[in-house]
Amino acid sequence: MTMPFSPRTLLAVAAAFVLALILTPVVRAFARRVGVVAVPKIDRWHKKPTSMLGGAAIWLTFVICHFVFIPHTVYGNIILLASTFLFLVGLVDDLLHTKPYQKLIGQILGSAFVVYYGLSLPWTGSALLNMALAIFWLILWWMHQRRLYLRI
C-alpha cells in the first residue's frame, strides 16, 4: 500500500520540518537550563557535551502533526501509543541514566507493540522475517533520530 501524494501530504511534511526546527532549540535550551546535559565519557558515543531530552522535540513534533494531519485510525493510534511509550523509555534513560540493555528492552517492547498489531515491513516473503526487520528498523530509526537532535 502506498500513500497517495497530495498537497495535504506536502503541507504535513513541511509543517513537521518547521516544527522540528522550532522545537529543537527550545528543548535544547530547556535541557541546558535545567542541567540535563550528557558529558563525554568513554562508554558514550558523543565527543562533545550533548543536551539530552532530544526525544521530546521529536515526540512533540510527531504528536502535533499526528493530531493535525493524520486521519485518526486504529493503526494511527497504535503508532501514537508506541511512539509515546518509546519517548517515555528515552525520557527515563535521560533522567535516570539506565543501562543500555534496559533501554534496548524498552525499545524492543515498544516496537513489538506496533508489530503485534499488524504493522510490519513487507520486504520479504517471510512474515516472521518482516516482523523482525520492522522491530530492528524502528529501533534503529529511533536511535538515529535521537543522535541527530540536540548536539550542543
Mapped onto helix, strand or coil, the DSSP state of residue 47 is: coil
Task: Tell me what pLDDT residue 6 has.
Answer: 82
- pLDDT of amino acid 152: 40
Domain ranges of the chain: 7-148
Residue 91 sits at the vertex; the CA angle it makes with 145 and 81, to the nearest 5 degrees, is 75
Give Cα 119 distance to the centre of its chain: 16
Question: Would you write out the chain's pLDDT as a tens digit for each of its 152 residues?
Answer: 455 678 888 899 999 999 999 999 999 899 889 888 877 777 666 677 777 888 899 899 999 999 999 888 998 899 899 989 989 998 898 888 888 889 889 989 999 998 998 888 889 999 999 999 999 988 887 676 655 544 44
pTM of the model: 0.76
pLDDT for 150: 44
DSSP letter for each residue of 71-121 = ---HHHHHHHHHHHHHHHHHHHHHHH---HHHHHHHHHHHHHHHHHTT---
